[in-house]
Structure 1
């Protein structure tokens, strides 16, 4: 038996499109439902959280998750990925190189530094699949039948990381899943893997994809509009000394 968005604790952002804010790190995951497939955007911070998301998605849709898009390779967004066995996994080109032995160790250490249990982190990192599909420009998925539910995956980075992927769901309204290129619940975080001088341009590409009327779903925080994204773009440009 399927449940409604409200019963499940998910927020419906547009018809067939929802998102959920996860506990602890306030990471947002997205769900896009079509007649021919189900896409999850990001996978949570560990195998247990990933398994809960998988069960929730199945309860909402009556079907398994068929596609998984990872917006960037930070632990709170990708360490649940192995819970989605059989799903086609997409990420920006270059994420596969970030998952070498050295990259996995850095990912594990970062997760533990932020408070994830060391055993949970090690288990999830060991099981983490390498994305099968590397998006270098734009990639259109059809989650419907005969083109009835197109979803655009766009490599809009670098910015927050060297490998930032956005997900555009056309519609009325359109929805853009931004990953951590946009944050609403706090100031955008620029860690050692950020590319600050390219970040404002990545937000320009987000705005070009979604347009003025889209709903923008940040990696952390409440859903925002184009004006919020533009203001954050300008603040980042000033913060990092990027010329217009």
Structure 2
């Protein structure tokens, strides 16, 4: 008994594929290769228009007679749902992770004199992942502070001006804390430095817990290392600094865009970027 479909064409049987914008196909009869730019009715029939790599556009009857990656297909008119999916994907691709309109074809600007300071490596990596594209366009560099204990002195050393501004993001900036007292003193140094923060013990908490499958971040008792405790509660290795670094990479990998971060952090970072990029 024959176990194969001996009547099947050499390239296989044609599969139906919706002719959505951007799909690259080849017309079997003419060898024309192009991306779908539109489907329309013309002369009582549906026509698919294909644009080749030189920008030339040619129309073909919608239906059989096309190849995708060498496999035969029957092109069908795209449904409204599929068109909406493609449009949403195109819109997403035109935005940066921060939600800004992506600037295409512009090289990173030479670094300006303005700076944004953050408290540590993890803060810097998170800002880079979400706002990096925007900051490169503006020519703003993010630098790490080694803590904020000498923040006022650091601002004096930087000597910010109207054309060389300084934005500073501080962790755990809530009333009554050591950080709030340090910031209150540092704010007196210069009107060209702006200090904002977030209420979280660590910038990790600014990632929405739902991204990790949680309803809330674990509560770690005083006297216990917060990061090590969180990693233990999450079931991650937590004994060494290497474990902490790996755990943060796992957390950071769940962040896709600004929508995965808490609004309090978003507001502070956006305001700092606006402050240091004022013409």
Higher strand share: 1
> What interval of TM-score do these two structures reach, taking the shorter chain for normalisation?
under 0.3
Name which structure has the greater RCO, CA cutoff 8 Å, separation 6+.
1
TM-score (norm 2): 0.23
Q: Which has the larger radius of gyration?
A: 2
Q: TM-score, normalised by structure 1?
A: 0.25
